[in-house]
Amino acid sequence: MSPSRWALFAWAGWTLAVVGGLGGLLVRVVWPAPILPTTFGVGPTNLVIIAFLGITWTTVGALLVIRRPDNPVGRIMVVVGTGLAMSILTVAVAFAWLAEGTAAGRQAASIVGGATALLTPILMLVFYLPLIFPTGRGHTPRWDAGGRAFLWIAMTIGALLVLHPGDVHLLPGIPNPIGLGPDLRPMFGEHVVDAINAASIAILSPILVLSVVSRYRSAGSIERQQLKWFLLGSALTFGAVAFMFASATLSPGPIGETPLIVFALAATTVPVAIGIAILRYRLYDIDRIISRTIAYAVVSVIVVGVFVGGVLAGQAALAGVVGDDSTLAVAASTLMAFAVFQPVRRRVQATIDRRFNRARIDAERMTDAFATRLRDQLDLTTLTDELQGTAASAVEPVAAGIWLRSQRVARG
């Protein structure tokens, strides 16, 4: 397809995502209705953040389709984001019709809920991205064939969810109007979606990790930087997914909106990372970001440990003086944590930089050595060669040159 047609596809997808996301929120304002207790605790705030998530995926995907029309990653992102944003509209309308309390309203909610069932399996395409990122295809013929096999498996699982009899998946209380497929409840229990999602993630995650690791080992320097961006966003998202499933599994009752909010916010980093990686905008900043992220996480754990340990030790030491009053111990622990923050941060940052931001450390050492040699160097030719050599070693430019401004001598 020509670039102009791909651009039309991008704009159409973006328009649908905006209409779906904002339209769903408008329905909630104009036609408010109780929200059903869904699997992951969807609430009013969740709907806003998920709409934002869908529009973000579509926006970045549309930009990639226009700028890189030959790369299918952008097209997949447009489809995923549009499906997610449009599901907000269908879910809001389904809740509103169900709240009518009439037979006609329940039937309308069932039809609109069926549309939601058709949209949400599109999200399984997200798991296809690690198999083709950043080039749009598998890095070897075998991995390319594995990616095509994955699409067939994903379509099969999606069909089982769409045609599952009973309630619409993720929307309990709304019957599925197209529930014509095999009943999976005898095999997986009442929570069919939970069981299929958990099984899919458990099976697919090692395969996807192996694909990314294999691609990283065979990749060049630029593609490795692109993969680092993708891995950072994916790591944040998988951490949020683990938190969400743990909350749903361990909580005896409703889990509230927090787990899904955390997931949606974390998942927003994935399209941003993909856009930066493929468009190569500030591509080499990833080492600094990873270094800072790990450093502040480690420092936070240490400081919290110092604070908690100080409180417990202070309470034990002052128990005979102030009794159960922990105010003094908390104040002393706060001052202690504040005092150790900067020294610990500098030490941890230096240690982590040596492992995760090695390029910056090496560049600083090169420039420091050049400055030392510069003090004793007077020959212009030698100085020029040293400067070009240092620049080439530090930042590896494609080409380098030195321009010296000529000095005009005034004649009297």
Return the SS3 of 167.
Answer: strand
Residue 195 within a domain: yes
Rounded Cα distance between 45 and 43, Å, is 6
Examine the domain organization and report whether 258 and 348 are in the same domain. no
The residue that leads in pLDDT, 356 or 32, is: 32
Rounded Cα distance between 361 and 374, Å, is 20
Spell out the residues 6+ positions from residue 254 whose beta carbon is closer than 8 angstroms to its own.
37, 41
Residue 327 within a domain: yes
Rounded Cα distance between 27 and 90, Å, is 10
Residue 204 within a domain: yes
- Asked whether residue 412 carries a pLDDT value surpassing 50, the answer given is no
Of 149, 176, 172, 148, the closest CA to residue 162 belongs to: 176
Examine the domain organization and report whether 45 and 150 are in the same domain. yes
Of 7, 167, 164, 22, the closest CA to residue 86 belongs to: 22
Domain boundaries, position 61? 3-281
Examine the domain organization and report whether 275 and 324 are in the same domain. no
Residue 37 within a domain: yes
Amino acid letter for position 23? G
Residue 339 within a domain: yes
Residue 71 within a domain: yes
Q: DSSP alpha helices (H): ranges in 135-220? A: 141-162, 185-188, 192-218
Q: How many domains in the chain?
A: 2
Average pLDDT over residues 168-185: 72
Rounded Cα distance between 195 and 184, Å, is 10
Domain boundary among 224, 247, 281: 281
Examine the domain organization and report whether 58 and 179 are in the same domain. yes
Per-residue pLDDT reduced to its tens digit, 149-162: 888 888 887 777 77
CB count in 10 Å sphere of residue 106: 15
Highest mean pLDDT of the ranges 69-83, 237-251, 307-321: 69-83
Query: What is the total residue count of the chain?
Result: 412
Examine the domain organization and report whether 205 and 91 are in the same domain. yes
Average pLDDT over residues 9-29: 91
- Asked whether residue 19 carries a pLDDT value surpassing 90, the answer given is yes
Rounded Cα distance between 263 and 77, Å, is 17
CATH code at 37?
1.20.1070
Whether this prediction's pTM lies above 0.85 is answered by: no
Highest mean pLDDT of the ranges 3-12, 249-258, 365-374: 3-12
**Phi and psi based region of residue 281 (left: phi greater than 0; alpha: psi -120 to 50; beta: remaining):** beta
